[in-house]
A and B are shown apart, each in its own frame.
Chain A
Amino acid sequence: MDLLGSLSVWIMPLLILLIPVIGFLRRVKVYEAFVEGASEGFQTAIRIMPFLVAMMVAVNVFRISGAMDLFINSFAPLLSFIGVPPELVPLAIMRPLSGTGALGLTTELLNTYGPDSMTGKIASTVLGSTDTTFYILTVYFGAVGIRNPRYSVIVGLVGDLVGFLSSIYICNYFFSW
Chain B
Amino acid sequence: MSSMSDKPEKLITDDGLRLDGRRADEIRPMKIEIGVLSRADGSCYLEWGRNKILVGVFGPREVHPRRMQRADSAVIRYKYNMASFSVEDHARPGPSRRSIEISKVSREAFEPVIMAELFPKTAIDIYVEVLQADAGTRTAAINASSIALADAGIPMKGLITSCAFGKVDGQIVLDLNKEEDNYGEADFPVAMTQDGEITLMQMDGHLTPDEIKKGLELVKKGCKEILEIQQAVLRKKFETPVEETVEEVTDTEDTRNKIVEAEEPLEYASEAAVVEEALEEVEELEKEQLCEETVETDAVAEEIPEFEELEDIIKETEALVEEDTEEDVVETEIEEEALEEEALEEETEFEASFEAAPEPEDFEELEPIKEEVSSEVEDVEFDSEELAYEETQLEEETGIEEVASEETFEPEPEIESETKTRTEVPAEEAVKAEVEPEEKKCEGPWKVVKDPSESGSRGENE
Task: Please determine whether chains A and B interact with each other in the same assembly.
Answer: no
List residues of chain A with CB under 8 Å of any chain B CB.
Answer: none
Where the two chains meet, the residues of B that have a C-beta atom closer than 8 Å to any C-beta of A are none
